[in-house]
Amino acid sequence: MINRVILVGRITKEPELRTTATGINVLSFTLAFDNKNKNADGTRGSSFINCTAWRNNADIIAKYCHKGSQIGIDGSLQERKYQRRDGTNASVIEVVVSEITLLGSKGTSQSNSYNSQPEPVNQGYVQDDDTSVEDMISGGDGDLADDDLPF
């Protein structure tokens, strides 16, 4: 099954870092972004998506992000069930963040990427400093003729 979400938006309120009873840092925030399609009146609406970051990602967001900061996230959807104070059951769908890219606050052009996952394992492809990506794909000549393409 595929469960992957990639979003770029702005944090809607000042992030608050919390710690679980077992000492793990967690940060919940809402990410806002403009919708792709326009409304009937010609304006674009906005969407507000709940997100949760754990451990190192929570620490980084708490330290470097503020209300209005633009951030890119990569994660997965998760349904979280809980009991309200009045005793009724409820659930929420949220994005659990696995990778973040800090895009800066309004007026800045800072960009940094952080990943809570280990680096991908090398799949047997080794690139020398003098080898271009095109050379790796084409076998060394760097030029692809239309006849070489499979479509």
pLDDT tens column, 43-88: 889 999 999 999 999 999 999 999 999 999 999 999 999 999 999 9
Length, in residues, of the chain? 151
Answer whether 45's CB lies under 8 Å from 67's CB.
no
Answer whether 65's CB lies under 8 Å from 58's CB.
no
Q: Which domains does the chain have, with CATH numbers?
A: 5-117 (2.40.50.140)
Does position 114 have pLDDT exceeding 80, yes or no? no
Among 6-15, 57-66, 102-111, 136-145, which stretch is predicted with the lowest mean pLDDT? 136-145
Does position 138 have pLDDT exceeding 60, yes or no? no
Listing DSSP states for 92-139 in one string gives EEEEEEEEEEEEESTT----EEEESSPPPPP-S----TT--HHHHHHT
Answer whether 78's CB lies under 8 Å from 4's CB.
no
How many CA atoms does the CB half-sphere of 97 hold within 13 Å?
32
